[in-house]
Chains A and B, each alone.
Chain A
Amino acid sequence: MHADLIHINRVSLKTEPALAKSWKVSADGKIITIKLREGLRFSDGQPFDADDVVFSFRVYQDEKIHSPQRDLLTINGKPIAVERVDTYTVRFTLPDTYAAGERIFDSVAMLPRHKLEKSLADGTLAKQWALNAAPSDIAGLGPFRFRPYVPGQQIALERNPFYWKQDKSGVRLPYLSELDFLFVANEDAQLLRFESGDTDVLSPMSASSYAILKNSANSSPNVCLNDLGASLEFNFLDFNLNDVSSKNLPDVQRKQTWFGDVRFRKAVSSAIDRDALVRLVYGGRATPLWEHVTPADKAWINTSLPRPARSLDQARKILKDAGYSWDGDGNLKDPKGTPVSFTIAVSVSSQPRSKIATLVQQDLGDLGMNVQVVPLEFRALLDRVFNTFDYDAAVLALTSGDADPTSEMNIWLSSGATHVWHLNEASPATPWEAEIDRLMNQQMTTVAYKKRKALYDRVQEIEQQNLPFISLVSPNVLFAAKKNLGNVQPAIIEPYALAGVDQTYFYEKGANSCQ
């Protein structure tokens, strides 16, 4: 639908020109000058130029719009200044050096000024492109554009005849003339629609769907299964370390004397059988994690960190040294003699995470902890984790939007909105959180990769030593496509199988793309 100025190639994870023909970053990294491609047109045929770029940024930075991109386009609390140099040149002035540099332009869609300027002025912009908008009112620069559709059933797209990309022989992309996204209620229904031939691509796909399709591979030979390896998603066990003194949660507060002790968290981490999670939850199609960075993030993972196997003896020793003991039936008691018993909340809608929680419950049971799994409706879980803080522990998952540490600022800064284990910290609660704050801020304004890597390596090291949460497992990116679908260029970040959809096509009879 839409296109960005500079795009992160979903396969190489490096930046490449998109609507921008070229760009220049000044030596201090503060000024980025972008040259636009000339003669580009929106999907309604209207020309695209520097005014549209300036307008788009005005929309995203407008406080009243509440756009999710606003945080991204603000550095250290100051917005990026955007100015038009000439019809095809735009200059961006950053308030501070920004290490990820031109990566911030990825997924910042360019908007048509001729369609939206009026509604931005009178404050109706948010409503302008609601679900009931007519397809002709919406214009973008992406490979596809809307065609009339039945609301609630699917998103129906057709080829954008004004798309700028061409293939090597000069044929204007995309090859496909129509692309439909079906709204299907759940994973099983998605799989059934795919098996029945209603859809050509199933992405992303769960490990159980993969197992089912693999099992029926003989009966449905025209399906191509793909395992792209580790994703950027990490599942973790989060202990509630929030400051609940003002919340009247005496039970949580009492349990925080255990959770707050790093030795307790280390014992838990040591008792969890991550290999079993990989095997039993994901049928082997996942990677065990000992820190949050997944192997998919090759450029940034700290490979020197230890990855110890499960050891109950080690866990028992840590607990014993911390003053814990066991009664005659093997139940764990804290130094005050209280039995260790807590709940793990998990979203009912996520089958894998429910299973992870149950396996962790069994693992910790071996340690004498009495753990109860509480399945909650997803929004109820989020409310407990982010607002009321009324939970003991939870199995959650986060996905990095980009393979770059700066995309994780919201997790690591003690003031971050996704600092899940301890939200709303006025100042860093622990010395190591202060240290992480310093390192993360420093890496954001450092340009040299090696220096940044060293800073981020240290963050990962501190993470492993202090275990703010316990990283468990990262599922692989899986998808299925019909064999007659050619030139699928999948990626490990969104939109997965559709990353190269502008170059995807159907083979004539007989040929297939499956390796």
Chain B
Amino acid sequence: MRHLSLLRISVAVIASFYLVAIAAEFFAPYGFAVSDREHTNCPPTRIHVVDESGHWHLRPFVYRYVELPGELESYQEVRSQRYPLEFFIQGAKYKFANILSGRRHLFGVASPASIFIFGTDEYGRDQLSRFIYGARISLIVGTLAAAVALFIGLGVGALCGTFGGWVDVVIMRFTELFMALPWLYLLLAVRAILPLRTSASVSLLILLSVVALVGWAKPARLFRGVILSAQELDFVVAASVIGGGKWYVFRRHVLPQTGSLLLTQAALLIPQFVIAEVTLSFLGLGVGEPIPSWGSILAPLARYESLALHWWLVLPVCAVVPLFFSYHEVTSILQRDDIPPMM
């Protein structure tokens, strides 16, 4: 049962990513657009447990960072005062989903010190906070786009599977044509014909539909196959023979057969679509600044300067690895034959 515990761990990792994304205001120590011009391109804040005089402290602490005089973007810790790491600290005010307002953040340090676990970007914005807020855009777009694509796929698959004949032939040739197109160029082309200057919510919607529009074809084919073979199953045939209406049989007996496929496809498509969103935002076609998405956070990495001077900009990449690894585990476990269909 090793793979079952692995599955549980993976699901827990995925769930925690979603939780953090949903409650970003609480988990992020700073706002995503808060720019600290005194700390641009600041490396990750070091967390200490031993102070200058060699004393150990149970509570980790940080020092304040100041720019070296005359040297731009070179920082030094001011060791004269410790700033202990605090949990559930009072910080900047936020409004959650426009209803709940609060000031508590999961962790932070008292000002004037600041804590930048992932360092800051070129505008002095906390990379970790932007990563957490960015998860919201990337995961929402990825997940919703997967839901839309699966819905379209299921609909088209059911249409072809049930009706068959020329409907099936025409629609399937069309989806094959769709699948043959290189998806990245298709994404770019679809994005290019849509307006560039849009408000954040509109561009989010555009992003979502572009990704879903490009991704529905493959699941449609799979659903068609499953529905076709489900119709041949003995108990389905029996249900029709004893007088079950076409719609009743489809709903009661055929559709449930697609359940496990739906689950594996979701686990497969969501990370794929998250990456699609990241790609679009990386290329500057996502939600505009200053709203972060994982793609726009990674965009500076396209420049040699970032790799040569600001290594911490790579940290968000490392942070998403567990998420994608977990999704991969979930898909591969779901595809095994030796686990019961309903876990």
Residues of A that sit less than 8 Å from B by CB = 188, 191-192, 208-209, 211-212, 215-216, 273, 276, 279-280, 283-284, 343, 348, 351, 355, 358-359, 361-362, 372-376
Contacts and interface: CB of A to CB of B under 8 A. Distances in A.
- Interface of chain A, main secondary structure: helix
Interface residues of B, number: 19
A-B CB proximity, top 6 nearest: A188-B304, A208-B305, A212-B308, A284-B72, A283-B72, A374-B197
A348 B305 CA distance: 17
Contacts of A208: 303, 305
Given A362-B35, A372-B197, A374-B197, A280 B122 contact: yes
B329 interface: no
A280 B196 contact: no
Contact of B40 (A209, A280, A351): A280
Nearest to B288: A372
B234 interface: no
Contacts of A348: 284
Given A280-B122, A373-B289, A374-B196, A215 B72 contact: no
- Interface of chain B, main secondary structure: loop
Nearest to A359: B123
B73 interface: yes
A215 B123 contact: no
A108 to B, nearest CB: 39
Contacts of A343: 197
A215 B308 contact: yes
B37 interface: yes
A86 to B, nearest CB: 58
A245 B40 CA distance: 43
B309 interface: yes
A373 B296 CA distance: 14
A192 B305 CA distance: 11
Contacts, number: 51
A359 B125 CA distance: 12
B303 A362 contact: no
A215 B306 CA distance: 12
A362 B123 contact: yes
B123 A358 contact: yes
Interface string B1-43: 0000000000000000000000000000000010101001000
Contacts of A375: 284
B288 A376 contact: no
B122 to A, nearest CB: 7
8 contacts: A208-B305, A212-B304, A351-B303, A372-B197, A372-B288, A373-B288, A374-B196, A375-B284
Contacts of A351: 303
Contacts of B37: 273, 276, 279-280
Nearest to A284: B72
B283 to A, nearest CB: 10
Q: Which of B33, B40, B305 has the most CB of A within 10 A?
A: B305
A362 B33 CA distance: 9
Contacts of B33: 362
Contact of A215 (B284, B290, B309): B309
Given A283-B73, A348-B284, A372-B197, A211 B305 contact: yes
Contacts of A188: 303-305
Nearest to B70: A284
A468 to B, nearest CB: 25
Given A284-B72, A372-B197, A376-B196, A211 B309 contact: yes
Given A273-B37, A358-B290, 10 more contacts: A209-B305, A212-B304, A212-B308, A215-B309, A283-B72, A348-B284, A362-B35, A372-B197, A373-B289, A374-B288
